[in-house]
C-alpha cells in the first residue's frame, strides 16, 4: 500500500499539470454544436482538447472548435466555434449589422443556432483569455471516433483582419 501512495503522490501532480496545460478529455453535453458534436442526442461525445496552441502559443484560428470558460458562469465550460478574431468584422445577425471584434477578443458561435447561447445572443465578443483549448477529435462513442473539422460559415465573416497571409475582404456586403 505504501508503494501505491508514493506513486500516487508522484503522478497526481504530473497528471493535473498535463491535463491543465497540454491535453484533456471533455464530455460535451447539449445540442449547441450539433451536428458537429453530439450527433446522437442520447450519447454525449467525449472529445480530446488540445491546449498548447491556446495556452502557450496563443494561436487561435477561425473555424476551431474551442473550449472556453463561460463569461457569465466562471465554473462552466462551453464548446463553440471561432468565427472571427480580433480586428475582423463579423455580421451580427441579432443586431442586423456588422460588428468589429476588439483587440484581445473573438466571436464564438454554436453550429446549431437554435440551441446555442453564444456571441450572437448572449456574450458578444469574448475575451481570448477565456479560451481553454481546441477540440481536435471525438474519442467516444466508438462510431463517432475521428477528427473534428475546422471550418466557419463564410457568410458570417465580412472582413478578415490582415494576418500577413494575404487575407482580406470575404463578403463586403456594402460595409
Q: Which one is the CATH code of 22-159: 3.40.640.10, 2.60.120.10, 2.10.109.10, 2.40.30.20?
A: 2.10.109.10
pLDDT greater at residue 120 or residue 174: 120
166 band by pLDDT with thresholds 50, 70 and 90: very low
pLDDT digits (tens, 9 = 90+) for 38-49: 998 888 999 999
pLDDT digits (tens, 9 = 90+) for 98-108: 999 999 999 99
Catalytic status, residue 95? no
Catalytic status, residue 32? yes
Catalytic residue from among 32, 51, 116, 119: 32
Any idea where the domains of the chain sit in the sequence? 22-159
Judged against a pLDDT cut of 50, whether residue 27 lies above it is answered with yes
DSSP letters along 49-96, please? EE-HHHHTS----TT-EEEEE-SS-TT-EEEEEEEE-TT-EEEETTTT
pLDDT for the residue 154? 81
For residue 51, give every residue at least 6 positions away whose Cβ sits within 8 Å of its Cβ, in sequence order, or none.
20, 21, 22, 23, 24, 132, 133
pLDDT digits (tens, 9 = 90+) for 62-90: 999 999 999 999 899 999 999 999 999 99
Catalytic residue from among 51, 80, 116, 119: 80
Interval 110-114 mean pLDDT: 94
User: Please, what is the average pLDDT of the chain?
Assistant: 88
Residue 49's beta-bridge partner residues? 24, 135
Joined together, the cell numbers standing for residue 104 give 484581445
Comparing C-alpha atoms, which of 141, 161, 139 is closest to residue 61? 161
Amino acid at each position: 500500500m505504501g508503494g501505491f501512495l508514493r506513486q500516487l503522490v508522484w503522478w497526481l501532480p504530473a497528471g493535473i499539470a498535463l491535463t491543465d496545460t497540454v491535453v484533456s478529455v471533455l464530455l460535451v453535453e447539449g445540442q449547441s454544436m450539433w451536428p458537429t458534436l453530439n450527433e446522437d442526442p442520447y450519447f454525449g461525445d467525449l472529445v480530446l482538447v488540445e491546449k498548447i496552441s491556446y495556452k502557450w502559443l496563443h494561436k487561435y484560428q477561425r473555424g476551431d472548435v474551442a473550449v472556453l470558460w463561460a463569461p457569465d458562469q466562471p465554473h462552466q465550460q462551453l464548446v463553440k466555434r471561432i468565427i472571427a478574431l480580433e480586428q475582423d468584422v463579423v455580421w451580427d445577425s441579432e443586431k442586423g449589422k456588422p460588428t468589429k471584434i476588439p483587440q484581445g477578443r473573438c466571436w464564438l458561435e454554436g453550429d446549431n443556432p437554435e440551441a446555442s447561447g453564444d456571441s450572437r445572443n448572449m456574450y458578444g465578443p469574448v475575451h481570448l483569455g477565456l479560451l481553454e483549448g481546441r477540440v481536435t477529435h471525438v474519442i467516444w462513442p466508438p462510431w463517432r471516433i475521428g477528427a473534428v473539422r475546422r471550418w466557419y460559415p463564410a457568410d458570417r465573416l465580412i472582413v478578415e483582419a490582415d494576418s500577413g497571409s494575404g487575407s482580406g475582404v470575404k463578403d463586403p456586403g456594402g460595409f
